[in-house]
Structure 1
Amino acid sequence: MFEALKLLRSTAFRLSLVYLAVFAVFAGLLIAYLSWNTWVIFSRQLIDTIDAEVQGLAEQYRIGGVLRLIQVIDQRTGNPSSSLYLLEDPDGNRLTGNVARVPLQVWKEDDAVRIRYERFNEGVGSNHEAIVRVFLLPGGFRLLVGRDIEERRRLQDIIWRSTLLGVVLMVVLGVGGGYYVSRRILARIDAVSETSRTIMAGDLSQRMALSGSGDEFDRLAESLNAMLARIERLMHGLKEVSDNIAHDLKTPLTRLRSRVEAALRAEPTEASYREALETTIEESDRLIAVFNALLMIARAEAGAAGASFATVDLSDVARDVVELYEPVAEEEGQSLTVEASRKAEIHGNRELIGQAIANLVDNALKYAPAEAGGRDISVSVRCQGDRAQIAVADSGPGIPAELRDKVVERFARLEESRSAPGAGLGLALVAAVASLHGGELRFEDNEPGLRAILDLPAGSGKMTGA
């Protein structure tokens, strides 16, 4: 009972009833109009036929008088038809015709009228319906001519009964169809609601079921599933970040606290306190840099920087970054060059793209030192069709192919780079910036060394060059 009430109260069922009511009213009005218009046309044609026949009989009367008129009427009534005739003398006596009796007021009518009458040679009480017209002849004779409409009336009744039956069947089928459609729709909605409750309970792996029909519910389910997959990835990333923060920041915070405690336990001198404070500030700066990097990654992944997109020339950005890091490279005995002679304009965030290029250059300088063979580092900007590529290549030890997917994760660091300063967030930020701009970060062998490529789409910007 509850299920039936739930279906009856559903929007789909109520909409089905509304459409059914509108269609039924429209169909009824249309059928009524057609029926009425058909009857009007039929009556007009019938009256025109009667008028023509009356004129013809009046002409016969003028030619041959009453005897000829009686002869013509007898001849016509001898053949079975729907035509009606009645001729009376001035005293009201019936002279000929196939009509036995008509209402007296009919003889006073000037126009065609619809009457009930009795046929001649039929039993008393026979009752038929006809349209007739009365014509007064010279000498006081009265002529009645008409057409029986009984069969047409019965046909009209059949049409009306059929129409009524059709409307009833339409209502029954409409209600049944609405019930069936509502039940199917309600089942799909209930499935979505049940899955939503399961997801809200904490099971983010659940997805909306697809029927395979490709209808609007399937398209909605696909969009919801894509959104849920995105939310699951973000939640998984948040958990991963939380775990990584707890793991990777615990050590520097503990070290910071230990140094402060050691300074407090030591002989209170100005030099020891200064050294402890300087060390604390240095460690704090590293922690602040880590949190700034995490915030920048979160900002990029959330798409918050999309509102500040503008036309950016990647060549200018690359040259600025190389100019900034050239002194560092020279100090480390490395060569840093840039190949970006042509414009490569895209639609993006200049600050984030500059930070991404800087991270790639910084990684190349840091993890491909001169003593490891990484003397030559190059930054190039190229355009290929509707894509722009910023490549940072070095001649250092590179990254094994099986670890290249791992290095873009937060706080991910290879064993051989553990001794180098850093928190393992640089490449994660580059990957987030690439994703924000609809591009990707990929790695290739430079033979020897590593080639990191930031591949970005042109978007609504304009790119020129080879």
Structure 2
Amino acid sequence: MTALGKLFRTTAFKLSFAYLVIFTIFAFVALAYVAWNAQRVLDDQFVSTIQAEISGLSEQYRVGGLRRLVNVVDRRSRTPGASLYLVTTEAGERVAGNIGALPPGVIDQPGQFETDYARTDETNATPGHAIVRVYLLPGGFRLVVGRDVEERARLRDAIQRAFGYSLILITVLGCAGGWFITKRVLKRVDDMTETTRVIMAGDLDGRLRIEGTGDELDRLAQNLNAMLDRIGELMKGIQEVSDNIAHDLKTPLTRLRNKADEALRTAKTPDELRAALDANIEESDNLIRIFNALLIIARLEAGNAREALSDFDASGVVADVAELYEALAEEAHTPLEVSIEEGLTVHGNRELLGQAVANLLDNALKYGAGANASIKVTASRQTDRVVIVVADRGPGIPEAERDRVLERFVRLENSRSSPGFGLGLSLVSAVARLHGGGLKLEDNAPGLRAVLTLPLKEHATS
């Protein structure tokens, strides 16, 4: 396809051409209205002038008779640029005036007409066109007064010429403007197309250029860049999951295989084989839990759980989870203090939020339980958000490590002796993002303060 053909097929050129056509139509209508209105004003002016002259001349006839009327008509007829005058007898014989001839029948009936005429001082000239009014005088005489409409024709011709020149100017400027705008838009679209080709070739770090004008192309580029950022995050997450599965799950799988091999080599009795099978089943259950947690996190980060979102009371969810963990807290001799504000309605997934709060409480009991320790669970409203806090008095997490522990399979050195896989906080963070909120880890001096924020229902975005 040629460059010119490509230009003509662009949406920008088609829109520019459509605007040009519409503007031309509006300009034509506006000029036509101006011409019609100007002609109407001129006609009204002609009629008013004719009526005023007839009134004056009829008064002259009433005061001074025919002689005086003839004298006045003769004097006015000789004035340059004068109106048209004619005084005739009842039989139509000319008495005075500058009208030499009228079409037959014009002076037979009183009234206003548009007609051709010839002046008395013109020979072999093209007949003029005028608006005339025929008036019957007492005594049977007829008075004809008119105005030539040549001015109206000249005005119409001038408007037609102006329209022709304007149409040419509009067309030239419109085409030039459309070409300029289309070339500019086409260049930006070509830049975007080239960038997308680079991205499709495997360079996921490529981004669309933003001009900073704030127009629709800039907004499109910003949204596409945000989409690419999200795709990059998901791709990174997939890569991390693959790496984590390859490294972190290698140890339990190896341990499972070694236990089975050891049972085959050393077990002598059915009880020993049963014990080995029980250990392998327990190890397999741990692996299944890991895979289930990874699948849930992957679904949350991909946004695939949005179809199950609904409005529910977060206060009840936190209260139910806290009630379930009260027995475990008593066994660990750790007081569990609960403070929950009522009526905290959010839009989300009830089960996932319950799982997230349970993970936070499980971590608090695992690392913050003790004789002199306590765990506090609060849920409250802060402006347009619901804030759920689980605080313990354990060793806490160093500030430099608080972002890192939200990643999959990350466990700090002082927690490797405790059971777990390093997926609990990752799941809580994914649930928070699904609900449009966030998870923040703070110092509880001593201990850890996990703050889960969610938007209230009237401020939630689905």
Give yes or no for contact 1:87–1:142 (8 Å, CA) kept in 2. Answer: yes
Residue 385 in structure 1 maps to residue 382 in structure 2: yes
Correspondence 1:8-23 to 2 at 5 A: 8-23=8-23
Q: Give the Cα separation in 2 of the matches to 1:57 and 1:447.
A: 113
Q: Give the match for residue 39 of structure 2.
A: 39
Q: Give the match for residue 147 of structure 2.
A: 147
Q: Give the match for residue 97 of structure 2.
A: 97
Q: Give the Cα separation in 2 of the matches to 1:65 and 1:309.
A: 101
1:178 Cα deviation from its structure 2 partner: 2.8
Q: Give the Cα separation in 1 of the matches to 2:382 and 2:363.
A: 29
Correspondence 1:58-137 to 2 at 5 A: 58=58, 60-61=60-61, 64-87=64-87, 95-104=95-104, 106-107=106-107, 110-122=110-122, 124-125=124-125, 127-134=127-134
1:283 Cα deviation from its structure 2 partner: 0.9
C-alpha distance after superposition, 1:217-245 (max 9, x if no partner): 22232222222212211211111111111
Picking from 427, 444, 447, the partner of 1:446 is 444
Secondary structure, aligned partner of 1:443: strand
1:63 Cα deviation from its structure 2 partner: 5.1
Give yes or no for contact 1:376–1:395 (8 Å, CA) kept in 2. Answer: yes
Q: Give the match for residue 414 of structure 1.
A: 412
Give yes or no for contact 1:115–1:131 (8 Å, CA) kept in 2. Answer: yes
Q: CA, structure 1 residues 135+355, in 2 after alignment: closer, same or farther (shift >3 Å)? A: closer
Q: CA, structure 1 residues 84+283, in 2 after alignment: closer, same or farther (shift >3 Å)? A: same
Q: CA, structure 1 residues 267+413, in 2 after alignment: closer, same or farther (shift >3 Å)? A: closer
Q: Give the match for residue 285 of structure 2.
A: 285
Secondary structure, aligned partner of 1:407: helix
**Structure 1 range deviating more: 15-24 or 248-257:** 15-24
> Under a length normalisation based on structure 2, what TM-score does the superposition of the two structures give?
0.85
Secondary structure, aligned partner of 1:354: helix
Q: Give the Cα separation in 1 of the matches to 2:319 and 2:97.
A: 113
Letter in 1 for 2:336: T
Give yes or no for contact 2:7–2:182 (8 Å, CA) kept in 1. Answer: yes
Q: Give the Cα separation in 2 of the matches to 1:289 and 1:190.
A: 49
Q: CA, structure 1 residues 240+89, in 2 after alignment: closer, same or farther (shift >3 Å)? A: same
**Structure 1 range deviating more: 72-81 or 96-105:** 96-105
Secondary structure, aligned partner of 1:338: strand
Letter in 1 for 2:213: S
Q: CA, structure 1 residues 136+359, in 2 after alignment: closer, same or farther (shift >3 Å)? A: closer
1:406 Cα deviation from its structure 2 partner: 1.0
Q: Give the Cα separation in 1 of the matches to 2:375 and 2:183.
A: 65
1:110 Cα deviation from its structure 2 partner: 5.0
Residue 335 in structure 1 maps to residue 334 in structure 2: yes
Residue 405 in structure 1 maps to residue 403 in structure 2: yes
1:439 Cα deviation from its structure 2 partner: 3.2
**Structure 1 range deviating more: 17-26 or 151-160:** 17-26
1:309 Cα deviation from its structure 2 partner: 4.4
Q: Give the match for residue 200 of structure 1.
A: 200
Q: CA, structure 1 residues 110+278, in 2 after alignment: closer, same or farther (shift >3 Å)? A: same
Q: Give the match for residue 7 of structure 1.
A: 7
Q: CA, structure 1 residues 51+380, in 2 after alignment: closer, same or farther (shift >3 Å)? A: closer
Give yes or no for contact 2:131–2:146 (8 Å, CA) kept in 1. Answer: yes
Q: CA, structure 1 residues 391+129, in 2 after alignment: closer, same or farther (shift >3 Å)? A: closer
**Structure 1 range deviating more: 97-106 or 164-173:** 97-106
Q: Give the Cα separation in 2 of the matches to 1:228 and 1:101.
A: 88
Give yes or no for contact 1:439–1:456 (8 Å, CA) kept in 2. Answer: yes
Q: Give the match for residue 241 of structure 2.
A: 241
1:138 Cα deviation from its structure 2 partner: 7.3
Secondary structure, aligned partner of 1:112: strand
Give yes or no for contact 2:263–2:276 (8 Å, CA) kept in 1. Answer: yes
1:41 Cα deviation from its structure 2 partner: 4.7
Q: Give the match for residue 223 of structure 2.
A: 223
Secondary structure, aligned partner of 2:407: coil
Q: Percentage identity across aligned positions? A: 48
Residue 376 in structure 1 maps to residue 379 in structure 2: no
Q: Give the Cα separation in 2 of the matches to 1:307 and 1:341.
A: 23
**Structure 1 range deviating more: 406-415 or 158-167:** 158-167
Q: CA, structure 1 residues 149+416, in 2 after alignment: closer, same or farther (shift >3 Å)? A: same
Q: Give the match for residue 178 of structure 1.
A: 178
1:425 Cα deviation from its structure 2 partner: 0.6
Give yes or no for contact 1:117–1:127 (8 Å, CA) kept in 2. Answer: yes
The number of residue pairs the alignment matches comes to 454
Q: Give the match for residue 433 of structure 2.
A: 435
> Under a length normalisation based on structure 1, what TM-score does the superposition of the two structures give?
0.84
Q: Give the Cα separation in 1 of the matches to 2:336 and 2:55.
A: 115
Secondary structure, aligned partner of 2:213: coil
Q: CA, structure 1 residues 133+430, in 2 after alignment: closer, same or farther (shift >3 Å)? A: closer
1:141 Cα deviation from its structure 2 partner: 6.0
Secondary structure, aligned partner of 1:212: coil
Q: Give the Cα separation in 2 of the matches to 1:62 and 1:391.
A: 109
Question: Cα RMSD between the aligned structures?
Answer: 3.3
Secondary structure, aligned partner of 1:175: helix
Secondary structure, aligned partner of 2:439: strand
Q: CA, structure 1 residues 46+418, in 2 after alignment: closer, same or farther (shift >3 Å)? A: same
Letter in 1 for 2:190: D
Picking from 433, 453, 457, the partner of 1:456 is 453
Residue 187 in structure 1 maps to residue 187 in structure 2: yes
1:95 Cα deviation from its structure 2 partner: 4.7
Residue 212 in structure 1 maps to residue 212 in structure 2: yes
**Structure 1 range deviating more: 388-397 or 6-15:** 388-397
Give yes or no for contact 1:315–1:342 (8 Å, CA) kept in 2. Answer: no
Letter in 1 for 2:373: D
Q: Give the Cα separation in 1 of the matches to 2:251 and 2:196.
A: 40
Correspondence 1:339-378 to 2 at 5 A: 339-340=338-339, 343=342, 345-347=344-346, 348-367=348-367, 376-378=373-375
1:409 Cα deviation from its structure 2 partner: 0.6
1:76 Cα deviation from its structure 2 partner: 1.2
Q: CA, structure 1 residues 134+252, in 2 after alignment: closer, same or farther (shift >3 Å)? A: same
Q: Give the match for residue 317 of structure 1.
A: 320
Return 5+ residue gaps in structure 2 as ranges.
none
1:8 Cα deviation from its structure 2 partner: 1.8
1:401 Cα deviation from its structure 2 partner: 1.8
1:268 Cα deviation from its structure 2 partner: 6.1
Secondary structure, aligned partner of 2:309: helix
Q: Give the Cα separation in 2 of the matches to 1:126 and 1:356.
A: 101
Secondary structure, aligned partner of 1:255: helix
Give yes or no for contact 1:82–1:148 (8 Å, CA) kept in 2. Answer: no
Q: Give the Cα separation in 2 of the matches to 1:174 and 1:187.
A: 20
Residue 301 in structure 1 maps to residue 298 in structure 2: no
Give yes or no for contact 1:344–1:381 (8 Å, CA) kept in 2. Answer: no
Q: Give the Cα separation in 1 of the matches to 2:144 and 2:352.
A: 103
Secondary structure, aligned partner of 2:239: helix
1:44 Cα deviation from its structure 2 partner: 4.5
**Structure 1 range deviating more: 390-399 or 149-158:** 390-399
1:431 Cα deviation from its structure 2 partner: 1.7
Q: CA, structure 1 residues 250+403, in 2 after alignment: closer, same or farther (shift >3 Å)? A: same
Residue 257 in structure 1 maps to residue 260 in structure 2: no
